[in-house]
Amino acid sequence: MSEVKIIGSAVPNMPWQEKPKQVHGAPVWRYTENPIIGRNPAKEVARIFNSAVIPYQNEFIGVFRGEQINGIPYIYMGRSKDAIHWEFEEEKIAFVDEEGKSFMPVYAYDPRLVKIEDVYYIIWCQDFYGAAIGIAKTTDFQTFVRIENPFLPFNRNAVLFPRKIHGNYMMLSRPSDSGHTPFGDIFLSESPDMVYWGKHRHVMGKASEWWESLKIGGGAAPIETTEGWLLFYHGVGGTCNGYVYSIGGAILDIENPSIVKYRCENFLLTPEEWYEERGFVPNVTFPCATIHDAESGRIAIYYGAADTYVGLAFTTVKEIVGYMKEKSSVSESDIEIGRR
């Protein structure tokens, strides 16, 4: 069988550190200089976490969840030459509507950033008379035009696929409730125009009693590989001391991504380091983006840590897909088309 490959662009300047000798469990290793973004990283921003980055004009650009000093989360832009050291804009992103008038969300958190054709889309969680998904588009990172909210409340953790499938845009999301939702599965929806969303399908639900027993949610935009869509997501387990957020992995069918081909029964990363275990919300690792190089197969995972910091972890497509296939455990509801 031929070796698994990433389908996409080469990103030779992506951040990278070689695998240390001893890696127990999944082949994912943390950047030794983590966290890459510490406390009070920008003017009037107490914490940055759960953020998304992407290659842009031979450098990197990102949209960052900045918890302002009044506690309200908003999205800030940042730029970097190496995707490790970031400079943030002082002002939050100024969204406009399609007529060009200011159209600011009440709050905005957990942004994802996905390029489809020549357009960059930011997808985040915001108030739409309840927590729901917001989307804006940009081509130049100067003007950010909000487009129609895709779903009714309550919904969180939306992420777009980086290309259309069978002519339609595809989005994963997690319908939820108004609080710190103690349940939730990942669903898939499609749209011909980014306005009307339908053909909803169930993708996957909670699984392991031990680390993803309560809820799951989409993480980084799926990576196209020769084995299918490689998805890093978050899985939440409950303990007597509260929720624990780990990073899980699955591979979705390339043509019909509501079908899960492989799902790793082990977490790929779970809170272990001080910056993951200690912070505003302890025991959270929350992936929102990857940078990946189709040439070398290298993958850098960007994740929020303890709702306080940004961490970086590495793997390769060959190692992670090999591991996920070896440790795969899929249920009936994972492998079905997801329509009832």
Q: Name which position in 151, 211, 286, 309 contacts ligand BMA (CB under 6 A).
A: 286
Min dist CB 50 to ligand BMA, Å, is 5
Q: How far is the CB of 140 from ligand BMA (least distance, A)?
A: 28
Which of 34, 50, 173, 315 lies at the binding interface for ligand BMA (CB under 6 A)? 50
Chain positions 169 to 188 lying near ligand BMA, rule: CB under 6 A, are 180
H-type helices in the chain, by residue range? 274-277, 317-326, 332-335
In 72-149, where do the E strands start and end?
73-80, 87-88, 95-96, 108-116, 119-127, 131-138, 144-147
To ligand BMA, the closest distance from the beta carbon of 178 in angstroms equals 11
Burial 161-172 (b: 16+ CB within 10 A, else e): bbeeeeebbbbb
User: Could you say which of 284, 301, 310, 320 contacts ligand BMA (CB under 6 A)?
Assistant: 284
- Told to check if 276 binds ligand BMA by CB under 6 A, we report no
Measuring CA to CA, which residue among 82, 89, 50 is closest to residue 311?
A: 50
Nearest CA to 75 out of 94, 92, 97 is that of: 92
Residue 41 as a binder of ligand BMA (CB under 6 A): the answer is: no
Q: What phi-psi label fits residue 100: left (phi over 0), alpha (psi between -120 and 50 degrees) or beta?
A: left
Cβ closest to ligand BMA, residue 100 vs residue 179: 179
> Which of 46, 96, 145, 281 lies at the binding interface for ligand BMA (CB under 6 A)?
281
CA distances (Å), 199 to each of 107, 161, 263, in order? Answer: 29, 15, 23
Instruction: Point out which span in 55-63, 80-88, 280-288, 330-338 binds ligand BMA (CB under 6 A).
Output: 280-288
Total count of residues recorded for the chain: 340
Residue closest to ligand BMA when measured from CB atoms = 281
Size of the site for ligand BMA (CB under 6 A): 10
Identify which of residues 51 and 225 has a Cβ nearer to ligand BMA in the complex: 51
Q: How far apart are the first and last CA of the chain?
A: 35
> Which residue blocks in 263-329 are alpha helix, DSSP H?
274-277, 317-326
Task: Tell me how far, at minimum, the Cβ of 286 lies from ligand BMA, in Å.
Answer: 5
User: Can residue 109 be called a binding residue for ligand BMA (CB under 6 A)?
Assistant: yes
When binding is defined by CB under 6 A, the residue of 62, 249, 304, 311 that contacts ligand BMA is 304
Closest CA to 125 of 138, 147, 107: 107
257 near ligand BMA (CB under 6 A): no
Which spans of this chain sit near ligand BMA (rule: CB under 6 A)? 50, 109-110, 180, 245, 281, 284, 286, 304, 307
